[in-house]
Amino acid sequence: MKLFQTKYLSADTAGLAQAADLLRQGQLVAFPTETVYGLGGDARNGEAVAAIYEAKGRPSFNPLIAHVASVEAAQRFVEWSDQAQSLADAFWPGPLTLVLPLRPGHGVSSLVTAGLDTLAVRVPAHPIARSLLEVVDGPVAAPSANPSGQISPTTADHVQSGLDGRIAAILDAGPCGVGLESTIVGLAGEPSLLRPGGVALEEVEHALDTRLHIHQSGDLLTAPGQLQSHYAPNAPVRLNAEAGVGDEVVLGFGPVDCTLNLSQSSDLVEAAANLFAMLHDLDKSHRPIAVSPIPDHGLGAAINDRLRRAAAPKT
């Protein structure tokens, strides 16, 4: 875990400029949205996204929401649709997140989507969030700015008490208006409510003129980590391998002889950033995959969780 002198930035032009600079440099900045404070990182920078998981101490890679400044910005990353337009007309900017198919060439780190082929996008309404996103001019991945398992922060002080020393800066604009996370609607298949939140289900159904499929918590889509097939390569995966045998390609960690290396310098943040993309690449060889032992602390626990799923017998 890296340690930072967490800066307190005020929500004025100078503070916004500093926050945007830090984000562009791959640093983490907590910023206000109308729902909760988000822990922002550049969604196109895998190491920045990995650092989000590390700062939160998240045990697993849940997919994150990409925050953008406008509908036009969202359309650069996802396949837009009439239903998406209806909901954006009704609720954006605001506490609604849309899950849509990724567009080819989207450039978003696979750690944001946790390897799914959809992306959650949201245009927040908070004026400071909007200004920040306009200045950054790129997608900002942001889960709630709290350590994993703790209550979501609705003030800069909440953020500070949870994450002080773990992130570069906190942009302080007072308490959040909504204080409850955004409603998440899935539009990649039949319209579904993936998470209740700041916009009521009835309002969403009214805007779409249709009933939503309701996902129960524990459903596969709301907990993509349970969808083994999303993480499992086609080839067999062998864990804790000291070396490759026979036909195997080797996904290495640290100073080892291998086909692709998650992190030559044994850096778990770098390894997390590389994980999904490297598994994809190795799977293209259609050969069995052997994976080096990965330490089980910090992000290593999440990496090992995903690797165990990848190695689990296919059902």
Q: Which is nearer to Mg ion, 16 or 167 (CB)?
A: 167
270 binds, among ligand TXA, Mg ion, none (CB under 5 to 8 A by kind): none
Interacting residues toward ligand TXA by CB under 6 A? 33, 35-36, 38, 62-65, 95, 97, 99, 113, 116, 118-120, 122, 142-144, 181-182, 184, 194-195, 221-222, 224
153 binds, among ligand TXA, Mg ion, none (CB under 5 to 8 A by kind): none
142 binds, among Mg ion, ligand TXA, none (CB under 5 to 8 A by kind): ligand TXA
In one-letter notation, the amino acid at residue 48 is A
Minimum Å gap between C-beta 288 and ligand TXA is 29
Q: Which is nearer to Mg ion, 46 or 143 (CB)?
A: 143
Minimum Å gap between C-beta 294 and ligand TXA is 23
Burial profile 234-265: b = 16 or more Cβ within 10 angstroms, e = fewer: ebebebebeebeeebbbbbbbebebbebbbee
Minimum Å gap between C-beta 52 and ligand TXA is 9
Q: Which is nearer to Mg ion, 109 or 144 (CB)?
A: 144
Minimum Å gap between C-beta 55 and ligand TXA is 13
In angstroms, the Cα distances linking 253 to 214, 236, 291, 295, 296 are 41, 19, 8, 10, 13
Q: Which is nearer to ligand TXA, 119 or 303 (CB)?
A: 119
140 binds, among Mg ion, ligand TXA, none (CB under 5 to 8 A by kind): none
232 binds, among Mg ion, ligand TXA, none (CB under 5 to 8 A by kind): none
Rounded Cα distance between 108 and 57, Å, is 22
Q: Which residues contact 82 (CB under 8 A, 6 or more apart)?
A: none
Residue 112: what are its φ and ψ, rounded to 5°? -70, -40
Q: Which is nearer to Mg ion, 154 or 263 (CB)?
A: 154
Q: Which is nearer to ligand TXA, 22 or 99 (CB)?
A: 99
Q: Which is nearer to ligand TXA, 155 or 259 (CB)?
A: 155
Rounded Cα distance between 133 and 156, Å, is 18
126 binds, among Mg ion, ligand TXA, none (CB under 5 to 8 A by kind): none
Minimum Å gap between C-beta 282 and ligand TXA is 23
Interacting residues toward Mg ion by CB under 5 A? 144
